Amino acid sequence: MRKILTIAILGGMLALLGGCHSAPVKPETPVENRDLNAAPKPADGATGNPTTESGPEQKGLDPINDPKNILSKRSIYFDYDKFDIQDKYKPLIESHAKHLANHPERKMLIQGNCDERGSREYNLALGQKRADAAKKALLLLGARDAQVEAVSLGEEKPRALGKDEAAYAENRRDDLLYNGEF
């Protein structure tokens, strides 16, 4: 009797599970973890081309605030004790430079940041080198000198408060701010 009851219960559970035909929904990758070089997935009827600065603005949304636009990405991350811009951030820099060149009324403040390791003076100098590297790249790609200012915040504006490599990596960055945001 016990065996028959167990089989009946299992059979009922399988029937319930078998009746559900919906496929599991795969969550979209968070913006912070996306590869800047990867092409976005096309929406229904879309061409699959990423939205660029010169593309159409969605519902009157400023391209720098449109999460589907590369211009909404405004942080550049650096390796430990480095200030060279990695290849994966070059499309981001190019897009911001093009936007600035096409919008001379826009201004940008680049804030260079460091993790907490190193002296205050060292981190201020390294943060300035990081901000200057981004400014130089923007200027070489078409932005005007009067549009871009580079400052160092050193270790004073951490994004992550942990004491591990993940937190340190999050704090080694340049933040690109447009007028109205600083």
CA distances from 31 to 1, 40, 52, 109 (A): 56, 11, 16, 22
Q: What does the pLDDT look like over 4-32, one tens digit per residue?
A: 444 444 444 433 334 433 333 343 433 33
Domains and CATH numbers, the chain: 63-182 (3.30.1330.60)
Output the pTM of the full model.
Answer: 0.69
User: For residue 60, what pLDDT is reported?
Assistant: 79
User: For residue 59, what pLDDT is reported?
Assistant: 63
Give the CA count within 13 Å in the CB-facing half-sphere of 26: 1
Q: What does the pLDDT look like over 113-143, one tens digit per residue?
A: 999 999 999 999 999 999 999 999 999 999 9
Q: Which of 153, 154, 158 is nearest to 182 (CA)?
A: 153
Q: With contact defined as beta carbons under 8 Å apart, do 64 and 162 qualify?
A: no
Cα separation, 3 vs 70, in Å, equals 61
- What average pLDDT score do residues 89-106 get? 98
